[in-house]
Every structure is written in C-alpha cells, then in structure tokens.
A and B are shown apart, each in its own frame.
Chain A
Amino acid sequence: MNYFGHVLAHLRKDLQLEWRSRDSINGMLFFALLVVVVFSLAFDPTAAMSRQIGGGILWIALLFASTTALNQAWTREQRNRVLEAQRMAPAPPSALFLGKALANLAFVVIVEAVLAPIFVVFYNLHAVGQGWLLAVVMPLGTWALVCNGTFFAALGLRTRNRELLLPLILFPISIPALLGMIQATTAVLTGEFSPDPWIRLLIGYNIAFTAVCLLLFETVLNAE
C-alpha cells in the first residue's frame, strides 16, 4: 500500500466508527447549538449588530464544539491498546495522523452544514459581501482548528488532565487562525472590507502547521 492508501484506510476506519456510533457529530452539533442560543440570549442582537458579531460567535461555537470532540478523537485508539498496535504497524505514523485529521475535518464540516441554516435563522443573517467566499473560508478555518487540534489531542493523550490541557495549548497557538477566520467571515457578512488578506493568512497558517504536524507526529506518537 502506498502512503495515500494508508491515509485512506485510516480515514475509512474513522468514518465507519463514527457512522456506527455518531457520538462526536451529535455531541458537537448539540453543543454548538447551545452556544449559539446562549450567545443569542446574552447579546440579543439586532440584524446589523449580528452581522458584526455573527462571524465571531459562529467560530467560537465551532471552536468549543470541536475541542470537546477532539478530546475524544484518540480515546477510541486507546481502547484495547489499538494505539500500541498502530505504533508497531509498518505504516507511516503521519498517515495515521492525516487520516484522523481528515475524518475530524469531515465531522466538523457536517456540523457546520447543519448549523449554518440554524445560525442564519437565529441571527437574521444575510451576507452583504460575496457570500460564496464562505465556502472557501469555512473549510480553511476548520482545517486550521482540526489539524492542530488532532495533533495536540495526540500530544496530550498520556498527560494528566487531558481534557483541560487540549484547550490550554490549542487556543494560544490558534489565535492567529481564529483572527483570520473571524475577520474573513465578518468581512463577507458585512461587506465593509476585503477578506482576501485573511484568506491568505489562513492558507499560509494551514500550510505551515500541516507541514509541522506531519513532520513531528512520529516524535509525539513515540514520546516515551
């Protein structure tokens, strides 16, 4: 099997597991919905105001929701010592990471697809800028969260307070990416400024951190 085949095998396994239980998608979806409702109650925004803050609230909801799911991403591998088997397998470790990260990307994108209409309804949103750009911003932003999140979840796998540690190290590293996705989304929603530099920032961030994650995953997997 070549590298791509390994990635596909890991991806297929994760998707299948999720299809059978649907734990993380359901959990994330409900969690994100709750955050959206709570923010809506807290700010009681008008249509103009929701365009200003909508991008931020959407991404914060997704950030929190994906953090809860990412914490569970590797516990499946710990059951029955699957992770030890993965470490001994002749497959490249970065393929394991890439498959897992792509699976998480798929889960969060599904959550976004379900959440977006609800969000539009609750906040009376319609994009003043070029709405189709959101189709570029959403996957880029999601990958920025999910790629590093999957990596740090693996990094924190054998630490104390695992659930606490993931946000503690993921959030500071993700701040430029968060800024990028929130600004790009706000730019599209309000149409007041151009989202281009922020999309470029996201692309640069994704390239840099995907490369580092792939390079260092083996070190983290075998850190003893």
Chain B
Amino acid sequence: MQRSRIFGPIGAVWFVLTLAAIVYATRLGLLIAPTEATMGNMARILYYHVPHSMLALLFPYVNFGASLFYLYWRRRDPLKALTADAVAISAAEITVVYGTICLVTGMLWGRVAWGIWWTWDARLTSMLLLWLLYVSYLMLRKLSSTGQTHTLAAVLSVFAAIDVPIVFMSIRWWRTQHPAPVFGGGPDSGLDPSMKPAFGWNVLAWALWGVLLLALRYGLERRRQEREQEAALQAIEASLEMAQ
C-alpha cells in the first residue's frame, strides 16, 4: 500500500504560516503590548490562556457536528461515516489538549493573581467539567471493542453536547447561591484597545495551530482506518482461498 504524504503543499504552507503567526503573536503579547496596570507583566499570560480557553470551547462543536454526521451516515454511507468519525476523535483530543492548557495556565495565573491555585468559581468549574466530559469520551473510545467504538462514541458525544449547557447553567446557579471569595481581575471588564492586536493575533495563531493539529490527527486516524480495512480485506480473501 502506498503511503500518502503527511504534508501536502497546502499543509506545508499552512504550517509555515502557523509558525509565523505564533512567533508574531507571542512577540506582540510578550514584548509589544502595554503592561497591565494592576497585575504587571504577569497578566501577559492572558494572551496564552484566553485564546486556548476560547478554542477549548469551540472544538467540542466540531466533535458534536462530526458525531451527528457519523450517526446520519452510519447506515447510508459507511465510508463517509468513517471520515466523520476521524474528525470527531481528532476534535475531542484537541479539546482535551486545549482544555488542559487552559486549566494549567489558569491555575498558574490564579496562584499569582488571587494567591490560590484553584477556586470553585463558575467558569473554572464549568471548564473542569467540560474537560472531564471529554476525557470520559476518550476513555470510552479506548475501552470499547473495535467494531462499535464509532457508534458508541458518537452517542456519548450527543449526550455530552446536551449536558454542556445544563452544566453551565447549573454551575452558575450553584455559585450565585454560595458566592465565591474574592474574585478580581479577569478580562471581562473589557480589554484596553492597545491590547487588542496582541490578543487578536494570539487567538488567530492558536486557532491556526489547533486546525493544523486537527488535520494531522485526522490524517493519522484515516491511515489507521485504512490499514484496518486492508487487514479485514486480506482476512476475507484468505478465508475464501481456504474454502476453495
């Protein structure tokens, strides 16, 4: 079987552009953007932390959409369904990666800004629960037997998608009843215009990077699927030869 190249020309251009964007955005964030008034240089983690959080909230939609396509195509067009499944698992893994980065950088920031690593604040808790949901999705994929992994995972993805809005709502209610201790900072109070270019470039750079990872993981999963099909085909052929 001839192996397809991992990087096509588009992929190579994308990779170079992504690297350039990351370098430029990091330079803007670390060196060019003005120092934040109350937190000083430490607040520059904003340019890394917030884009990752935003993207960690975006990739679950990709996973959910791909899972719906999988369930729709499952009987009608199994080959297309497999591509949808490859998108779904890639998106789920990147959700976990970005979510982990968001949580870890958030903790670092929280330790310096609030003096604590963690607080059961609404946004932190919701993010943690989202992360838990997608880790459990990956666990299911790991533990289920080969023939049915795709379907079971797609079903769980639908459950997760319904769960997420309920989680966000309930956590908000929970926290309004038991108000969290001092909760200062956070970019919600509005970003100064001078910080906007650095922030925008960082969102763009890490989005490009996420899509690149998604495409690489998708290619990997497609290769794995093709190899599986090849093996199954060979097994069938071998059994036919035996019968003759």
A→B interface (CB under 8 Å):
148, 155-156, 158-161, 164-165, 168-169, 171-173, 175-176, 179-180, 183, 193, 197-198, 201, 204-205, 208-209, 212, 216, 219-220, 223-224
Contact = CB atoms under 8 A, between A and B. Distances in A.
B145 A201 contact: no
B170 A201 contact: yes
Contact of B162 (A165, A197, A208): A208
Contact of B170 (A156, A180, A219, A220): A180
Contacts, number: 92
A208 B152 contact: no
B contact patch SS: helix
A103 B33 CA distance: 62
B145 to A, nearest CB: 6
Contacts of B132: 172, 175
B179 to A, nearest CB: 12
A168 B140 CA distance: 8
B177 A179 contact: no
Contacts of B174: 179, 183
A contact patch SS: helix
A204 B156 contact: no
Interface of B: 71, 74, 129, 132-133, 135-137, 139-140, 143-145, 147-148, 151-152, 155-156, 158-160, 162-163, 166-167, 169-171, 173-174, 177
Identify which of B71, B148, B159 gathers the most chain A CB atoms within 10 Å of its CB: B159
A41 B228 CA distance: 53
B159 A219 contact: no
Nearest to A182: B174
27 contacts: A155-B140, A155-B152, A156-B143, A158-B145, A159-B140, A159-B143, A159-B152, A160-B144, A165-B140, A169-B137, A169-B140, A169-B156, A171-B136, A172-B136, A173-B160, A175-B167, A179-B171, A198-B173, A204-B166, A208-B162, A208-B166, A212-B158, A216-B155, A220-B151, A223-B148, A223-B151, A224-B147
